[in-house]
Structure 1
């Protein structure tokens, strides 16, 4: 039997799992099948790789040698695959763009803008609540651009290898049922919402921690938080189950209203990311410009955001939110 890349991955998984049972679960194999595969690998390498014990497995001297090589070979092969995918992308005729996003309304607005800016280009999208997942797809060449965000001054995912351009900085608003007593005011104090339950889309950044810290400064601990998709958040607000947290650009929706939080305790930075080796500068410049226009259009369609911006433009108004005002 000749040694293959998948065999090295199996050895690495066994070592990381610490037992054949756990490794078999991770690899989706029955333990006897994994044990038989390991014996074939050991015969190909000429010796025992792991000592089996009562509490799991431990690498032998030969096993340590092989594992040391896997730490070099596996990342190198992964990097080769990513670079090849990016190179293949740059060789195409530029007639397809693959966009990812965590913000459905803004992503849809960007697709609409690109339909006019690049009429001969086919645009496909991939939505995910995970900023890290989208960053991984950018790094692997499976997405061309990702429209996501970060709370306050938090760093975006993988900033060493990806380019992130700030599209806009928005205050975080609260979604209320139209009949809610606080919906009639210009803005809502966070402390006044202490009795409420909450709804918000999930994420793997620091937004949840920033929200909890803002509530603590307002003198309370938030009650139950429903982390779910946008449509479910809207439903929970419409039926009065919860109040929601949203970007200020959230589109007008029947049955609910959005209001600023007094003092702007939370801000959200809209970011567009891409891998520099996978995009031509002119393409990136076009997508950045259209993303900013998409955001401006979304802001103009939100009456509550337009009023908030108008108040901030008054001479004695407080300054607009900055990214360093993170909670």
Structure 2
């Protein structure tokens, strides 16, 4: 049997989990199948790689040698695959635009603008709430651009080496049912919401911590937070079971209203990212211009937020601001 990269991944998985059984679960294999594969690997290398007993699996001297080499080879091969994916399209014009994101206020208008400018281009979208996942897909060459939101002055993860540009900075509003006692106010102080139940969308980043910190400054801890998708969250708010934080650009459906939080204690930055060595970098400025224009377009149907922006000029579109 010739040793392959997948065999090195097996050895690393066993070492990292400390157990053949746990490694099998991590790799999605049956335990007997992984045990048989490990035995074939050991025969190929000429000796046992792990000492196994009731306490788990511990690398032998030979196992440590293999692990040392594998921990160099596997990342190197991953880097080669990523570079190859980007280089494969480096000599071709942008005939496709692949966007990743979720819950973006501008994605639909951005796609419309690009489709109008490039009627023959292939434009696709991929939904994910997780910035790390989208960044990895851009790094791997499977997406061209990522539209993500981050809390306040937070920055997206830097280990992926992407270029990020800020499209907009917006306050976070609160979404209430029309019958809520505070729904008729021009703005709502966060401290008045201490007895409410909340609904939130899934995702990573620090927004949950920022929300908890803002509530602590307002003198309370949130009673309950439901994590669910957007439509289910709207149902919970409409039913009066919870209230929600929302982007200021959100246009509520019938029966719901959005209200600013007094003092704008929470902010949301919308970012567009791409890899600087990918073909998408050549059209990054133009796509960013379309993204900014799409954001401005989104305000046309939200007169309440436009009025708020006229009184708070530090918020809104960031033009060419760097993220």
Pairwise TM-score range, normalised by the shorter structure: over 0.9
The CA deviation at 1:227 is 1.6
Please state whether the residue corresponding to 2:268 is helix, strand or coil. Answer: strand
Separation of aligned partners in 1, 2:61 and 2:130: 40
Partner of 2:88: 88
Task: Give the C-alpha shift of residue 322 in structure 1.
Answer: 12
In structure 2, the CA distance between the partners of 1:226 and 1:220, relative to structure 1 (3 Å rule), is same
Please tell me whether the aligned partners of residues 168 and 315 of structure 2 are also in contact (alpha carbons under 8 angstroms): no
> How far did 1:251 drift?
2.3
Counterpart in the other structure of 2:35: 35
Alignment partner, residue 203 of structure 1: 203
Cα distance in 1 between the residues matched to 2:140 and 2:221 = 40
Question: Paired residue for 1:15?
Answer: 15
Instruction: State which drifts further: 7-16 or 236-245.
Output: 236-245
Q: TM-score under structure 2 normalisation?
A: 0.94
Given that 1:252 and 1:301 are in contact with CA atoms closer than 8 Å, whether structure 2 keeps it comes out as: no
Matches within 5 A, 1:160-179: 161-179=161-179
Partner deviation per Cα, 1:167-220 (whole Å, 9 max, x = no partner): 110000011112222111111110111111111212100000000110111111
Tell which deviates more after alignment, 73-82 or 18-27.
18-27
TM-superposed CA distance for 1:321, in Å, is 8.5
What CA distance in whole angstroms lies between the structure 1 residues aligned with 2:28 and 2:160? 33
TM-score (norm. length: structure 1): 0.93
Task: Name the SS for the 2:129 alignment partner.
Answer: coil
8 A Cα contact 1:214 1:265, kept in partner: yes
* Residue 75, structure 1, aligned to residue 80, structure 2: no
The 5 A counterparts of 1:139-178 are 139-158=139-158, 161-178=161-178
5+ unaligned residues in a row in structure 2: which ranges? Answer: 319-323
8 Å contact 1:201–1:227 — kept in the other structure? yes
Q: How many residues align?
A: 318
C-alpha displacement of 1:281: 4.2
What is the CA–CA distance in structure 2 between the aligned matches of 1:103 and 1:279, rounded to whole Å?
A: 26
Partner of 2:287: 287
Match of 2:130 in 1: 130
- Partner of 1:277, secondary structure, is coil
Offset, 1:320: 4.4
- Alignment partner of 1:258 is 2:267: no
* 8 Å CA contact 1:248, 1:299 repeated in 2: no
Partner Cα separation in structure 2 for residue 176 and residue 188 of structure 1:
11
Aligned-pair RMSD on alpha carbons? 1.8
SS of 2:89's equivalent in the other structure is: helix
Residue 172 of structure 1 aligns to a residue whose secondary structure is strand
Q: State how far apart, in whole Å, the 2-side matches of 1:320 and 1:284 are.
A: 23
Runs of 4+ in 1 over 3 A off after TM superposition: 319-323
Contact 1:105 1:251 in 2 (8 A): no
Q: Is the 8 A contact 1:264 1:321 kept in 2?
A: no
* Equivalent residues of 1:51, 1:57 under 8 A apart: yes
Offset, 1:160 = 5.7
Would you say the 8 A contact 1:18–1:58 is kept in 2?
yes
Aligned-pair CA distance for 1:311:
2.6
Match of 1:227 in 2: 227
**How far did residue 92 of structure 1 move?**
3.5
Q: How does 1:94-105 map to 2 (within 5 A)?
A: 94-105=94-105
Kept in 1, the 8 Å contact 2:274–2:281? The answer is no
- 3-state DSSP class of the match of 2:246? strand
